[in-house]
Amino acid sequence: MEFGLIAPVLLLLCFAIVDFAAAVRVQIGVDQAARAVANLIVQQSAVTTAQLDDFYIAGRDCYAFNSGTFSISAASVTFPPAPSGWDAADYSGHFAPSPGNLLTLSAGLAASSGGSVVGGDSTIVVQARSTFAIPLAFWPIPSSLTFTSTEFARPRLSFVVTAPN
């Protein structure tokens, strides 16, 4: 009787631990992918479409999981003198598949900048996202989880990394 009550709870906890281990590993992979792509973009003074596609491959390699979906967006956000706010160049269309453009995120970045960045400086924003199927999923454990990581980096060779087109 007691075993019948306790066993499902213990087994659920066991499965949850295994699933949590997998989830932590995937989140770290998504973090590494976003960081790698951001670092690669800020090493350039200008990026071409071919380079962005190549950086996407590097991010995908860092994610390192064959299962689940994976996508990346990137934007260059330049800060002109106040009060005109941020000027965002969206690179997202050059990544396939892309989770969408980052203009909304860039607007949030402008609000929190506090005007401490010199006009003409820019920030590279990269967002990686993955929807991962949970290996041992049954109620109440969800069948899939979406992991998102956003990285910010400053260009190293020039004030702005020029976008393609």
Partner 1 sequence: MTGLIVDRRGVAALEFAIVGGTFFLLLLLVIQFGLYYLQVTALDLAVQKASRQILINQAVTQTQFVTNIQADSFGLLQSQTIHVAVQSAASFGAITPVANIAAGASLPYDTGTYGSAVLIQVGYTGNALANLLSQFVPGVSSTIAFQREPSPQ
> Binder to partner 1 among 46, 53, 138, 154 (CB under 8 A)?
53
Is residue 143 within 8 Å of 152, Cβ to Cβ? no
6 interacts with partner 1 by CB under 8 A: yes
Of the two residues 14 and 107, which places its CB atom closer to partner 1 in the complex?
Answer: 14
39 interacts with partner 1 by CB under 8 A: yes
> Binder to partner 1 among 46, 64, 96, 133 (CB under 8 A)?
64
23-28 long-range contacts (CB < 8 A, ≥24 apart) are 23/132, 23/134, 23/145, 23/147, 26/65, 26/68, 26/130, 26/132, 26/145, 26/147, 27/147, 27/149
> Binder to partner 1 among 30, 34, 38, 43 (CB under 8 A)?
43
Using the contact rule CB under 8 A, the part of the chain among 16-24, 74-82, 94-102, 107-115 near partner 1 is 16-24
87-90, strands of its sheet edge to edge: 87-90, 69-78, 122-133, 144-153
108 interacts with partner 1 by CB under 8 A: no
54 interacts with partner 1 by CB under 8 A: yes
